[in-house]
Structure 1
Amino acid sequence: MKPDEKLNLQTVDRVKSISPQDFLEQYVKPQKPVVIEQLTREWPAYEKWSLSYLKEIAGDVEVPLYDNRPVSAKNKFNEPHAKMKLKAYVDLLKKGPTDYRIFLFNMMKEVPVLQNHFKMPALGIKFLKKLPFLFFGAENSSVFMHYDIDFANILHIHFEGKKRCIIYPPSETRYLYKVPNALISLNEIDFNAPDLEKFPALKLAKGYEAYLEHGEALYMPEGYWHNMTYLTPGFSMSLRTLPRSPKNLSKAIYNLTIMRAFENVMRKLKGDDWINYKNRLAYRRQEKRLQNDLHRK
């Protein structure tokens, strides 16, 4: 990336607190992101939750681990790359950088006492009580750019350390090199240092950037793309709602049934040839779309 080139990102709005009415009117209805700085200040989790505390209370829980290896037909959709006890994983995080991350893990199901450390926020939308997922990462580990399979509205709350979040609304999908029949952009794109000569369409995508510290919550509307980078070892919890839009609800049902099943079948039948074909197609489609946009101008 040239020094004078960068992604087209604006800073996400920040508020210390917000009423349910203002949250709905200013952010949910227009589908706009916001960081709520003091949402968790009254939660026991704000004082208790740290990597060391979770190691102590849930250290023997076996957790699924993911890394940044390219998507392979050897793995089913969202299949973990390894497993490890949480206490060993926390030790690994504290030793230094590692690509291993915990992704979409329901720790509260394994350690129910953690459910007493937070409450569903009163923000005018109904969060799913049984689906508070945790995510962990080491210093400089990054989650590939993707959007969630269920098109949920997400409240992403960070604990311990600092995290950078790059997010894009669904309207920018046309510039993000989306892989067909998948929820991701091309794996080789590093959104922290993108090669804008190789991936020029990224310059046209209009997104947002937010930095989260302990206890801060980022609201990401349904269908938003997101890339998360842990600037220090830490973990986050996501609370989610069902999509409010009937169109997005139908997309979620399609993703969870037809798309996921078809992807697993094709990986089994075609192997990595299927993955490579989709990656080539993503790039070709993006180049064609970019040329069409430039021609119209």
Structure 2
Amino acid sequence: MILSEIDVVEDIDKDVFLKKYFKPQKPVLIKGLAKKWEAYSKWSLDYIAAQAGEQVVGLYDNKPADPNKPTDEPVTYMKMREYIKLIKEKPSDLRIFFYIITDKLPELLKNFSYPELGFKYFKRIPTLFFGGSEARVLMHYDVDLGDLLHFQFEGKKRVLLFPPDQASFLYKVPLSVHTVYNIDYERPDFERFPALRFATGYEVHMEHGDALFMPSGYWHFNRYLEAGFSITLRSFPGSPRRLMKMLNEVFVVRYTDKLMRRVLKHRWVTFKQKLAFRKSQRALNRYLSTIKQSDAG
């Protein structure tokens, strides 16, 4: 993988953000942006445990989804207080996925403000994500294709970002928003996944209070280095074309995949994995051929 350093700023003006990052769809890390919130001190695991400790939450781990079950089915359930106690006390790969604040912890909405960066937020679903120090999230892009502002709290996190046009080098699974299950992005095997060597993206390290702007359709792999949590604020699709693509992703591609998975189970998963390899190999062959012709010229 060819990883570049991401732009890092301490503060940013709305006009500068729109011109340098939002309009050209380029990611940027804004250090300590959450520190501007009046209730910044409340963004802690302890505060959430106190406010929502009795809630029962679904938990996910690092294992690939069981092809005989829905992809969004949790591996286990636990009270929020018990989960937070667990990840604070010992290493764990358990994580909470897509915890919608407006439904489950509306009190937390009083503790932040939407940064004035010039784009419209979808205020219905500010979403929390939690992870233990061994948790990682499979390389994927968000199906709603919104522009994302992702804040990290408590523990540190490593994020790998890749533009949408790198999908072929990442072994994208057809009719899915993720790559093949068995790529280890922390120790990539370029012999097994040769196209991955040429994927061009960014490596980001986040700390408490940092905000990462991820443009629409960007691939991202998240690795919790310490127990922590995050909030993602998302925008509406910024153009009619993107809106139509989002509707197709959500209501056609996603449900076609769910139907085929329900009918064919493991055979469907295996077929898609093989197809992902074939497509990435063809992309690699085209790329190497272009390089060879360029060198010959």
- Looking at structure 1, the residues matched to 195 and 74 of structure 2 have their Cα atoms a distance apart, in angstroms, of 31
* C-alpha contact 1:77 1:260 (8 A) present in aligned 2: no
Identical counterparts, % of pairs = 43
1:283 counterpart residue number: 277
Q: Which runs of 5+ in 2 are unaligned?
A: 293-297
2:141 counterpart residue number: 147
* C-alpha contact 2:65 2:71 (8 A) present in aligned 1: no
Cα RMSD between the aligned structures?
Answer: 1.3
1:27 matched to 2:21? The reply is yes
Structure 1 counterpart of 2:64, from 51, 61, 70: 70
- Looking at structure 2, the residues matched to 153 and 172 of structure 1 have their Cα atoms a distance apart, in angstroms, of 18
- Looking at structure 1, the residues matched to 94 and 55 of structure 2 have their Cα atoms a distance apart, in angstroms, of 16
* C-alpha contact 1:34 1:218 (8 A) present in aligned 2: yes
Q: Calculate the TM-score normalised by the size of structure 2.
A: 0.94
1:204 counterpart residue number: 198
2:288 counterpart residue number: 294
1:78, CA displacement in angstroms?
Answer: 2.6
1:214 matched to 2:208? The reply is yes
Q: Which runs of 5+ in 1 are unaligned?
A: 1-6
2:128 counterpart residue number: 134
1:123 counterpart residue number: 117
1:271 counterpart residue number: 265
1:254 matched to 2:254? The reply is no
SS in 1 for 2:8: strand
What's the CA shift string for 1:143-188, capped at 9, x where partnerless? 1100000011000000102111100011111211000110001111
1:4 counterpart residue number: none
1:266, CA displacement in angstroms?
Answer: 0.6
- Looking at structure 1, the residues matched to 53 and 38 of structure 2 have their Cα atoms a distance apart, in angstroms, of 20
* C-alpha contact 1:72 1:275 (8 A) present in aligned 2: no
1:71, CA displacement in angstroms?
Answer: 2.8
1:45, CA displacement in angstroms?
Answer: 4.2
1:159 counterpart residue number: 153
SS in 1 for 2:226: coil
- The alpha-carbon distance between structure 1 residues 261 and 55, as it changes in their structure 2 partners (threshold 3 A), is same
User: After the TM superposition, which segments of 4 or more aligned residues of structure 1 sit over 3 Å from their partners?
Assistant: none
1:243 matched to 2:237? The reply is yes
2:100 counterpart residue number: 106
- Looking at structure 2, the residues matched to 80 and 242 of structure 1 have their Cα atoms a distance apart, in angstroms, of 28
SS in 1 for 2:189: coil
- Looking at structure 2, the residues matched to 94 and 288 of structure 1 have their Cα atoms a distance apart, in angstroms, of 45
Q: Which letter does structure 2 place at the counterpart of 1:206?
A: T
* C-alpha contact 1:77 1:263 (8 A) present in aligned 2: no
- Looking at structure 1, the residues matched to 13 and 287 of structure 2 have their Cα atoms a distance apart, in angstroms, of 41
Structure 1 counterpart of 2:73, from 68, 73, 79: 79
1:85, CA displacement in angstroms?
Answer: 1.3
Structure 1 counterpart of 2:171, from 168, 177, 196: 177
1:3 counterpart residue number: none
* C-alpha contact 2:59 2:75 (8 A) present in aligned 1: yes
* C-alpha contact 1:71 1:275 (8 A) present in aligned 2: no
1:279, CA displacement in angstroms?
Answer: 0.6
Q: Which letter does structure 1 place at the counterpart of 2:279?
A: R
1:226 counterpart residue number: 220
* C-alpha contact 1:12 1:208 (8 A) present in aligned 2: yes
Q: Calculate the TM-score normalised by the size of structure 1.
A: 0.94
- Looking at structure 2, the residues matched to 63 and 27 of structure 1 have their Cα atoms a distance apart, in angstroms, of 36
- Looking at structure 2, the residues matched to 37 and 290 of structure 1 have their Cα atoms a distance apart, in angstroms, of 36
Once the two structures are overlaid, the 10-residue window that deviates more, 48-57 or 228-237, is: 48-57
- Looking at structure 1, the residues matched to 86 and 36 of structure 2 have their Cα atoms a distance apart, in angstroms, of 31
SS in 1 for 2:223: strand
SS in 1 for 2:233: strand
Q: Which letter does structure 2 place at the counterpart of 1:59?
A: G
1:36 matched to 2:30? The reply is yes
Aligned length: 291
- Looking at structure 2, the residues matched to 68 and 36 of structure 1 have their Cα atoms a distance apart, in angstroms, of 28
